[in-house]
Amino acid sequence: SDRFIEAAREHRADILCMSALLTTTMTYMKEVIDALHASDLAGRVKVLVGGAPVTEGFAQTIGADGYSSNANNAVLMARQLMGH
């Protein structure tokens, strides 16, 4: 999770997007979100999650700002999160 936070800070990210391919990697999404909320980037960087096993309910449970079921919708959701 530290690498995600460092990269978001270094690149001055507005959105951090994560995708899980396997259910075993989904728990790491929450770790990254928790680390983000504990950092100086809290409230500034939005989090968008997706991937085959990820659901909108899971995204809400882990505190993500947005969810998308596919890459095309992820672009639309990212624009919405940024107010565009």
Inform me whether the pLDDT recorded for 84 exceeds 90. Answer: no
% of the chain at pLDDT higher than 70: 100
- Domain 2-81 fold is Rossmann fold (3.40.50)
User: By percentage, how much of the chain surpasses pLDDT 90?
Assistant: 99
Average pLDDT of the chain, as a whole number: 96
Residues 70-82 pLDDT 10s:
999 999 999 999 9
Structural domain boundaries in the chain? 2-81
Residue 48, strand partner residues:
17, 66
Q: What is the DSSP string of 46-83?
A: EEEEE-TT--HHHHHHHT-SEEESSHHHHHHHHHHHTT
The pTM score is: 0.93
